[in-house]
Structure 1
Amino acid sequence: MRPKNNRKPLRDEAPKVRRAPGSPTKSQLRAHADAIEQARFAKWKTVLGIAGTTWSKVHATELSRSNGDINVLAGLVQLRHALSRQEADSQVKAFYDQHMQIAPITLSSFMPAVSARPAAEPVVAPVASSAESA
């Protein structure tokens, strides 16, 4: 029986590549994407009334179900206002540019601080001389 570490690849498998030190892990990238999505969703809830007045023929429940997805919203605007897709896309993009400004979430907030600390120097306690103790 052949040991596992000497197995031959089934096909031409690409070798595994390690990530560079200091680059984000998959879980950090996933957390970053989730944070951006949550921020966009929270901002959409605050802008929902403005979107309702901008596109009066789109019902409020349809707007809230779109969850701020730009493609879904453009489809609703196109359908309800009988516009071309390009016109609906341009209206929704202009709306997003004006109202959906989200504060940037940096990836560095999800990464642990990596600092090059110098090696700790040994602590030497001063030795009291007999002249000082007298």
Structure 2
Amino acid sequence: MLARGLETLRPPSNSLVLIENVGNLVCPALFDLGEHAKVVVLSVTEGEDKPLKYPHMFQHASVMILNKIDLLPHLTFNVNTCLEFAQKVNPHLQVFQVSATTGEGLQHWYDWVISQINAPNRQGVC
């Protein structure tokens, strides 16, 4: 399906193509889609145990976006515990703490995406 979609889209060089999984955090980790990077988005409302519960996704991800950090004052979510679990599963995981609502941390994420698009050794789709 991905190949057909890219043939139809015909994205120009240095385009960004995002592929969102449907379902849980296990499914996308099991398939090689030819992507440049896997990014896992974890909401603070889901609980800090997700890296241990779904290790395959976190092991194969380059980046974890920890989203909805604006809700932290209202939750018992422990950011440090979550980061420890994520680093235990994948010591090379880069983490961006963001709030899509307030915009906090998003510029760092955008900068990372742009750096990946412009990387000289990039092959394939980012």
The normalised TM-score by structure 1 is 0.23
Q: Which structure shows the bigger proportion of residues in helix conformation?
A: 1
Report which of the two structures shows the higher radius of gyration computed on alpha carbons.
Answer: 1
The normalised TM-score by structure 2 is 0.24
